[in-house]
Structure 1
Amino acid sequence: MNIRLIWFVALMISLFSCKPQYRIVDMQGEIIEIDSTFDSKPNPHIQKLVLSYKTQLDSEMNIPIGTSASLMDYRRPESLLTNLTSDVMKEYGDEHLPNGADIGVMNVHGHRATMPKGTVTIGNLFEIYSFDNTITFLDLKGVDLKKMFDAYARIGGAGISSNVKLIIENRQVKSVTVDNKPIDNNQIYKIVTLDYLAEGNDNMNALLNAISSNNTGVTLRDIMIDWVKEQTRMGNEIESAIDGRIIIIE
């Protein structure tokens, strides 16, 4: 009897372990808005529950915290929004690193919306900085910093702080300076960036060569919210400029 039972169990294991192996060959998706066109007869109890959360969320997101002097978009090689974000990131490093930061590094599509001209709300900043990316400090040798700028040249530019001057020609670095000085291959540069970029994403493979990495756990969004509030407290509008920090020679 025991032998039969063992044989039966072995047979079942054999049958179920011989399932065909599948692999994903294609993926497709679409945005489906959950509105009246999706369901013309919504459940009133669920609708009431959702509305209670929406009302509370709207009351928090619609709080005005600053005023923008102009509409700010994000694009390559530089833009008002990428310049602003990169400068604020470097400023944060200057405040939190013992000897300050050398460069702020930001990707273009880390922004997901434009900053409106006029009143800026907490909700606006949640839309712009919708990812929970956290500020990360890197120690990077000059030779690897040059590799990072080589990537900037290939992709046509990205966010960089105003103390950098990068000239690109034929998708190659023609010249680059930091604080009006050429990059020293052996110098250690203090970089302020996002955890996402520090992991080598978005063409930033060179950042994987960092000598040290410190993820602060503080989100870029929180830093930007605090910065805007501070500008308002000091009576300043949110301002940015296209200043030629990245120039592409056609």
Structure 2
Amino acid sequence: MAKLKHFGILNIKHYVIFITLLNLVSCKNTPEHLTELTGKQIAIDTNYTSVDSIQKFIQPYHDRVESILDSTLAYAPYVISKTDGKFNTTAGNLMADIVLKETNPIFNKRTGNTIDIVLLNHGGIRSIISKGNVTSRTAYEVMPFENSVVVVELKGSSLLKMVDYLKKSKRAHPVAGMQLILNKDNSVKSFTIDGKPLDTDKSYYIATSDYLVTGGDNMNFFKDALSKTETDYKIRNAMIDFFSKVDTLAPKVDLRYYQLQ
């Protein structure tokens, strides 16, 4: 009887193990595959009305955001535009100068280096700055994109590609920290950085946007970068910070980039 008893216990153990293994196999996840995707277009029109309870809930937040956006930060005594100059403009010069002034302390603190040049794109300026009060909303209108500043290290020889790009584009791309003078035949008369001639063997630091640094607007010379520093500083935020520090915006069309007549 003792042998039969032990035999029965062994059979029960084997049965339990078998059932457990069977359950594990049956519970194994089967990969799922998307076989069909359907959808429909829902028009948002006058048939949809606001829900009073939701409207009342968000109204205080809406009012607070609106008050912040419309608080006066500075004053523009005239219209600031990206079309008031051929090779440089008041809006372009303002944006490039802002990026240089506001980003340089951040870059210097992180790397010990300083920004030599700023280069942005003409198309990135999306609005004029009207005469009158300048607010945070102004910055959102001029720069509605979430672009942030990236500082790229380039050899002087690669900057010659940048000069060639500017010369051929014939657009007032915003620049700062440099001067480019073209002859009547569109050849380069001079190119200086901080008042000094270009050294093709030296490395320079160019602040630009995260869009351009990847070749946006065909600025492929940025692919020659020796190093890149992400500042995580949005261009729009740099504008708001600058507006908060000054009383009056007075950018001018100047001689940073022009052509002899």
Range into which the TM-score falls when normalised by the shorter chain: 0.7 to 0.9
- Choose from 95, 112, 118 the match for 1:85: 95
Shift of 1:46: 7.1
Describe the superposition over 1:34-65 as per-residue Cα deviations: whole angstroms up to 9, x where unpaired: 9xxx8445414279739836544322321111
Report the residue type matching 1:239 in the other structure.
A
Amino acid at match of 2:239: M
The offset of 1:92, in angstroms, is 2.9
CA distance in 1, matches of 2:192, 2:50: 62
Q: Deviations over 1:16-51 (max 9, x none)?
A: 9xxxxxxxxxxxxxxxxx9xxx84454142797398
**Alpha-carbon separation, structure 1, partners of 2:145 and 2:51:** 31
Structure 1 stretches of 4+ with a deviation exceeding 6 A read none
Task: Return the offset for 1:216.
Answer: 1.0
Query: C-alpha distance in 2, partners of 1:59/1:42?
Result: 27
Structure 2 counterpart of 1:68, from 76, 94, 99: 76
Moved more, 70-79 or 51-60: 51-60
Which residue of 1 is the match for residue 6 of structure 2? none
What's the secondary structure of 1:115's corresponding residue?
coil
Indicate which of 220, 234, 248 corresponds to 1:237.
248
Could you tell me how far apart the structure 2 residues matched to 1:89 and 1:164 are?
A: 17
Provide the rounded CA distance (Å) in 2 between the counterparts of 1:81 and 1:205.
24
CA contact (8 A) 2:167 2:186 kept: yes
CA 1:170/1:41 → structure 2, altered by over 3 Å: closer, same or farther? farther
Give the secondary structure class of the aligned counterpart of 1:177.
strand
- 1:136·1:198 contact (CA, 8 Å) conserved in 2? yes
Name the TM-score, length of structure 1 as normaliser. Answer: 0.75
Q: 2:144 matched to 1:133? A: no
The range that moved more, 85-94 or 118-127, is: 85-94
Q: Work out whether residues 166 and 177 of structure 1, in 8 Å CA contact, stay in contact via their aligned partners in 2.
A: no
Q: Distance in 2 between matches of 1:109 and 1:100?
A: 26
Structure 1 residues 185, 47: closer, same or farther in 2, change over 3 A?
farther
Aligned to 2:21: none
Is this contact kept in 2: 1:83–1:241, CA < 8 A?
yes
Aligned equivalents of 2:49, 2:103: Cα separation in 1? 50
Kindly provide the CA deviation profile for residues 93-135 of structure 1, in whole angstroms up to 9, marking residues without a partner as x. 4323224211111111111111111201111111111111111
**Shift of residue 238 of structure 1?**
1.3
Say if 2:150 and 2:213, in contact at 8 Å, map to a contact too. yes
Q: 2: distance between equivalents of 1:89 and 1:224?
A: 8
Q: Partners of 2:204 and 2:186 in 1: how far apart?
A: 24
Q: 1:188-244 deviations in whole A, cap 9, x for unaligned?
A: 01111111111111121101111000111110111110111011xxxx311201112
Paired residues for 1:213-228 under 5 Å: 213-228=228-243
Q: Does 1:49 align with 2:60?
A: no
Length, aligned pairs only: 211
Displacement, 1:172?
A: 4.6
User: What letter is aligned with 1:189?
Assistant: Y
CA distance in 1, matches of 2:192, 2:90: 21
Q: Structure 1 residues 54, 92: closer, same or farther in 2, change over 3 A?
A: closer
Gaps of 5+ in 2: 1-34, 36-42
Distance 1:209 1:168 in 2: 27
- Structure 2 distance, partners of 1:70, 1:162, is 24
The Cα offsets for residues 66-85 of structure 1, whole Å up to 9 and x where unpaired, read as: 11232111145211010011
Cα distance in 1 between the residues matched to 2:128 and 2:53? 31
C-alpha RMSD of matched pairs (Å): 2.6
1:162 and 1:71 map into 2 onto residues whose CA distance is 24
- 1:200 maps to 215
